[in-house]
Chain A
Amino acid sequence: MSIRESNRQLRLRRTGRMPSDARVRHFDELSDDEKQLVAELAGRPRTAPETDTLEDGDVVKFTDYYLVRSR
């Protein structure tokens, strides 16, 4: 995982609805760094610098379904 050169910040929002075109990835598909990031952000009001691989609109299955937001 590498940090993208932008000022955008990632956050994870718990989601109950699955957008039909969302890319859904299981936690086990993520790199070690992404796992660390998701474990830190999930369910918490925190942000982190945008990465190359977690895209705005992606859904990650962790302890719940989390929608990736990049703003």
Chain B
Amino acid sequence: MSDSYVIIGDGIAGASAAETLREEAPDAEVTVLTDEGESLYNRILIKEYAKGKLPEAPISIHQEDWYDDHDVDLRLNTVVVDIDVDEDAVHTHEGETFEYDNLLLAIGGTPQQLPVENAEADGIHHFWTFQDARRIKESVEDAEQAVIVGAGLLGIDFAAICGAQDVEAKYLMRGDNWWRYALSEEGAEMMHEAMRERGIEPVFGSGVDRFEVDDDGHVEAAVDPNGERYECDFAGVAIGLNFNTELIEDTPLETDDGVVVDEFMRTNVDNVYAAGDITAFNDLVLGEQAKNGSWGSAKEQGTVAARNMIDYGSEEFRWVSSYSITHFDFPFLSFGHPTLGDDSVEATTADGEWRRVALKDGKVVGGVLIGDLSPQSAFKQLMREGRDISDHADHLMEPGFAVDDLPASPEQ
């Protein structure tokens, strides 16, 4: 009898696992369950759709016939309500039961809501799915004034959407600059200036204390903790994700701000694996447990999980992720874990070019490049090698930096 694999989630982690299983275990029974009403789409291009820059067609990755062609049983609009790891079965909202030999959890997250008055009013949007993007596009096209909350990598997508749709927006930030955990004010100011050029005004030392609504329950203003009132008919909230771990609360699966997996993507239950945003994984590059929400990381985790479900121990997840912002006329790329570390070096290397590298115990653990992406491969190489560069960190700031520019390490 062939092995059966059940995958919960049809994002890039679940879909790459299904592809890998089909390629490397041709006789396996593969079932994919998703609560979404559409099959795999390109989650990192939906912001371009919301900006009005891209039609729907190129965003779809797997048409439904892909699953038929690859003998993968796809169940859309299917909510898993219970996982029974003793019986190796999952149960859905419609009372169906799917038994498995191996289970993959690729269940991702759900955007957090602001814990403030009227946070669920009409006109207040969160951004995660293609359906969210469609609603945002429709809503922002009718808007004149917007408020954006969430000074991170997801919040800036809202800023770009408003800018592209000619909606004036106030971008309310609690701190003194955008993505303050990864950028200094000097680096962030380049991003602020790009926002201003598109009609988005960053407001620092702010945030949202409550939303006000009109008689129809539609948002009409945000009031910040200083009492300042910002009128808006559109609000974008991107303050982070809640990981969908409620599904496994009654199981013995270990969680720690996500599903804990080893470097083979296996949980503490031998035939249950996890991949994508949901995982708290053993990061072999960083040397500790980590989380990562980038597209490339999720895709690789799905592939690695599939290989280890077929043959446990066959492939480790060892990955340096990166995430770019492509909304402006200059490039921005973060890599690794730029918000971690115990030290950092940063510099403006030329007009419009800035970089920062985060270090931990003298080793590169992440960074941010603005304007000039040329050192990305070198920095990632240093991170993968775990090379101690504590005596030479300033070299990283030199224009045209290459790994060969560093003095040879003592063991070489």
B241 within 8 A of A: no
Within the complex, the shortest CB–CB distance from A11 to chain B, in Å, comes to 18
Q: Which of these binds chain A: B32-40, B99-107, B323-331?
A: B323-331
Q: Judging by beta carbons under 8 Å apart, are A23 and B331 in contact?
A: no
| Chain A residues, Cβ within 8 Å of B45 | 24, 26, 61
Per-residue contact bits, chain A 47-71, to B (CB 8 Å; 1 contact, 0 not): 0000000000001011111000000
Per-residue contact bits, chain A 19-42, to B (CB 8 Å; 1 contact, 0 not): 010111011110011011001100
B380 within 8 A of A: yes
Q: Judging by beta carbons under 8 Å apart, are B44 and A26 in contact?
A: yes
How many pairs of residues, A versus B, come closer than 8 Å at their CB atoms? 65
Within the complex, the shortest CB–CB distance from B202 to chain A, in Å, comes to 21
B377 within 8 A of A: yes
B322 within 8 A of A: yes
Q: Judging by beta carbons under 8 Å apart, are A35 and B328 in contact?
A: no
Per-residue contact bits, chain B 36-78, to A (CB 8 Å; 1 contact, 0 not): 0000001011001000011101110000000000000000000
Within the complex, the shortest CB–CB distance from A1 to chain B, in Å, comes to 11
Q: Judging by beta carbons under 8 Å apart, are B324 and A27 in contact?
A: yes
* Given A23-B58, A35-B376, A36-B376, A28 contacting B331 (CB threshold 8 A): no
When chains A and B are docked, how far (Å) is the Cα of A23 from the Cα of B42? 12
Q: Judging by beta carbons under 8 Å apart, are A29 and B295 in contact?
A: yes
Q: Judging by beta carbons under 8 Å apart, are A61 and B48 in contact?
A: yes
When chains A and B are docked, how far (Å) is the Cα of A28 from the Cα of B325? 9
Q: Judging by beta carbons under 8 Å apart, are B331 and A22 in contact?
A: no
Number of interface residues of B (CB under 8 A): 27
| Chain B residues, Cβ within 8 Å of A39 | 331, 373-374, 376
Residue of A nearest to B380 (CB): A32
Q: Judging by beta carbons under 8 Å apart, are B324 and A28 in contact?
A: yes
B296 within 8 A of A: yes
Q: Judging by beta carbons under 8 Å apart, are A29 and B331 in contact?
A: no
Q: Judging by beta carbons under 8 Å apart, are B323 and A24 in contact?
A: no
Q: Judging by beta carbons under 8 Å apart, are B322 and A63 in contact?
A: no
* Given A35-B322, A61-B48, A63-B328, A18 contacting B54 (CB threshold 8 A): yes
B268 within 8 A of A: no
Residue of A nearest to B332 (CB): A63
When chains A and B are docked, how far (Å) is the Cα of A21 from the Cα of B46? 17
Q: Judging by beta carbons under 8 Å apart, are A18 and B55 in contact?
A: yes
Q: Judging by beta carbons under 8 Å apart, are B380 and A24 in contact?
A: no
Within the complex, the shortest CB–CB distance from B367 to chain A, in Å, comes to 14
Q: Judging by beta carbons under 8 Å apart, are B44 and A28 in contact?
A: yes
B349 within 8 A of A: no
Q: Judging by beta carbons under 8 Å apart, are B295 and A62 in contact?
A: no
| Chain B residues, Cβ within 8 Å of A35 | 322, 324, 333, 373, 376
| Chain B residues, Cβ within 8 Å of A29 | 42, 44, 295-296
| Chain A residues, Cβ within 8 Å of B376 | 32, 35-36, 39
When chains A and B are docked, how far (Å) is the Cα of A20 from the Cα of B57? 8
* Given A23-B58, A32-B376, A36-B376, A62 contacting B331 (CB threshold 8 A): yes
B139 within 8 A of A: no
| Chain B residues, Cβ within 8 Å of A40 | 374
Closest 10 CB pairs of A and B: A24-B58, A39-B373, A26-B44, A27-B324, A28-B295, A28-B324, A26-B45, A28-B44, A63-B331, A63-B329
Can you pick out 29 interface pairs between chain A and chain B where the beta carbons lie within 8 Å of each other? A18-B55, A20-B55, A20-B57, A24-B45, A24-B54, A26-B44, A26-B48, A26-B295, A27-B324, A27-B326, A28-B44, A28-B294, A28-B295, A28-B296, A28-B322, A28-B324, A29-B295, A33-B377, A35-B333, A35-B373, A36-B373, A36-B374, A39-B374, A39-B376, A61-B45, A61-B48, A61-B54, A62-B331, A63-B328
